[in-house]
Amino acid sequence: MTRLRDKIAIVTGAGRGIGRGIAEKMAAEGATVVVTDIDETTASETAAALGGEAIGIRTDVTARDSVNAMVEQVTERYGRMDVLVNNAGWDKVGPFVDSDPADWDRVIQINLYGVLNTSYAVLPIMGEQGHGSVVNIASDAGRVGSSGEAVYSAAKGGIIAFTKTMAREMSRRQVNVNCVCPGPADTALFNSIGGDNPKLREALIKAIPFRRLAQPSDLANVVAFFASDEAGYVTGQTISVSGGLTMA
């Protein structure tokens, strides 16, 4: 399939995990992918694996100067940007009352401010173009909560609300903005926050109607739809990709 043929797509946090899966799907659908990640090595490696005109750019989504430099580079190289996927994220699990406020700042800076920073830089350009698609990666934690992830849930809930407001504000410019909420996914990040615990992993799998964790490709398929012209009349929507763990 080539639903994204000739589109220029920026994917943040695309060096590994869900972000890399999204980048691979975008490229398979015909897009030229800009792989951004705070880890320059993984960004470059992913871009090289995608081939074509894909490029990797080190980008710290918490720093507006870094985001602006990336957007300027994309504009100079390609002349436009058709898709923005705000995927970069991070979490540290533990009871809120035992948490370190310094970790609150990091979670909010990466998960919420990261989306604000990239959107602030990209949306005016899409508005000027008169077209574009933004897909924000939130989490089911932001819809129904998640024990041990209070601040992360708050940040992801903010992304869901932000998505709806941007969809309203950008509709007059023919830019659609939608949100994808992953459930538990089999990634390095998930393992780093306790997913490598066999008991926790098994308990989660038993709670999921499809009896398995999400793979990056499961999320990427939905993101690709939202980014395509097939979703041209869809905006302000939030969809869970959770194997039925959440139904709302």
Count of domains forming the chain:
1
pTM: 0.94
* 205 inside domain: no
Is position 78 annotated as part of the catalytic site?
no
More confident residue, 59 or 189: 59
pLDDT higher than 70, residue 190: no
Euclidean distance between CA atoms 68 and 76, whole angstroms: 12
Q: pLDDT, tens digit, for every residue of 208-244?
A: 988 889 899 999 999 999 999 999 999 999 999 999 8
Domain with 224 in it: 8-183+216-237
Alpha-carbon separation of residue 53 from 31, 34, 56, 57, 212 (angstroms)? 9, 9, 10, 13, 35
CATH code where residue 119 lies: 3.40.50.720
Helical residues (DSSP H) of the chain, grouped into ranges = 17-28, 40-50, 64-78, 101-108, 114-129, 141-144, 150-170, 188-190, 198-207, 216-227
- Is 2 a domain residue? no
pLDDT at 211: 86
* Active-site position among 78, 113, 120, 152: 152
> Average per-residue pLDDT in the chain?
94
| % the chain with pLDDT above 90 | 83
Asked, for residue 26, whether it belongs to a domain, the answer is: yes
Count of alpha carbons within 13 angstroms of residue 212, beta-carbon side: 5
- Quick one: average pLDDT of 193-201? 67
Task: Answer yes or no: is 210 within a domain.
Answer: no
Question: Can you tell me the distance from the alpha carbon of 227 to that of 247, in angstroms, rounded to the nearest whole number?
Answer: 23
Q: Indicate whether 208 belongs to any domain.
A: no
**Residue 203 lies inside a defined structural domain of this protein:** no
Q: So what's the pLDDT on residue 200?
A: 77
